[in-house]
Amino acid sequence: MSIVWIVIGLIMAAVPFWFFSVPMDPWSGVNAGALGAGLFTVIFLVAILRHPVFSRNVRILTCIMFIIIAGSISISWKAGYDQSHYQRQRLGEIRTVIGEGILKSYSTQAALKTLRAYYLQKPARKTPIGTLFLQVNKEWIKNGLLLDEDPRYHITYLTDQTPSGITLVSVDSVARGRDDKFKNADGQTGRLQMRVTLTEKGVRHERDN
């Protein structure tokens, strides 16, 4: 009889474990397997403890032990589940904050430097701000890209350049943006993207995603 119980237990734990397993999410399979095994344990205890050899005292003691063990497992299991998901989500958010700071720093700095140079020019011979941007940042700009960055993690495109102003679009290739379906300038989807516009009136930066 014990072999039958073992086989039933194996099936009730293993089938939901493999059936509900999802790639990149270890919890779905583990939760399903543990629920199946827990259900099996309840059925098993109810069936076995009916035997007359177990007195009322033993049944009560077993129920108390089961409630204590199952309760503590459930609480610690739930805490572990919440904590791991919170940490994973929080790491993503921290990465986005870091990425936003880096993108803003690189592109805004280049724009502010140009703005400063523009207003420090002599009024009689003012180079237009869009043209001046290319002159001020000529060492960094190549094929429409602002180069002073690590291209593995972030990249800045000069998407629009006229004498009256420029637009820079920066993409962080790792940090997640607000919308997972957003099409980024570098061809990726759902990544953090910032936009900086420089005109005579000043620098405007906004987050595209």
Give every strand in the sheet of 165-176, ordered side by side: 141-142, 145-146, 154-162, 165-176, 191-199, 202-207
Nearer to other proteins, 48 or 145 (CB): 48
> Binding residue for other proteins (CB under 8 A) from 131, 190, 205, 207?
205
Q: Binding mask 143-162 vs other proteins (x if CB under 8 A, - otherwise)?
A: ---------xx---------
Distance (Å, rounded) from C-alpha 131 to C-alpha 92? 38
Is position 92 an interface residue for other proteins (rule: CB under 8 A)? Answer: yes
CB of 117 to other proteins, least distance (A): 10
Is position 140 an interface residue for other proteins (rule: CB under 8 A)? Answer: no
Distance (Å, rounded) from C-alpha 140 to C-alpha 114? 13
Number of residues that bind other proteins (CB under 8 A): 83
Is position 89 an interface residue for other proteins (rule: CB under 8 A)? Answer: yes
Is position 207 an interface residue for other proteins (rule: CB under 8 A)? Answer: no
Nearer to other proteins, 83 or 135 (CB): 83
Is position 189 an interface residue for other proteins (rule: CB under 8 A)? Answer: no
Task: Find out whether 102 and 192 touch, Cβ atoms under 8 Å.
Answer: no
Is position 121 an interface residue for other proteins (rule: CB under 8 A)? Answer: no
User: Which part of the chain contacts other proteins (CB under 8 A), choosing from 32-40, 137-145, 163-171, 178-186?
Assistant: 32-40
Nearer to other proteins, 41 or 127 (CB): 41
Backbone φ and ψ of 52, nearest 5°: -60, -20
Nearer to other proteins, 4 or 143 (CB): 4
Size of the chain in residues: 209
CB of 70 to other proteins, least distance (A): 9
Is position 43 an interface residue for other proteins (rule: CB under 8 A)? Answer: no
Nearer to other proteins, 88 or 125 (CB): 88
Task: Find out whether 189 and 206 touch, Cβ atoms under 8 Å.
Answer: no
Is position 128 an interface residue for other proteins (rule: CB under 8 A)? Answer: no
Nearer to other proteins, 176 or 195 (CB): 176
Distance (Å, rounded) from C-alpha 207 to C-alpha 145? 19
Distance (Å, rounded) from C-alpha 77 to C-alpha 83? 10
E-assigned strand segments in the chain: 141-142, 145-146, 154-162, 165-176, 191-199, 202-207
Distance (Å, rounded) from C-alpha 84 to C-alpha 38? 22
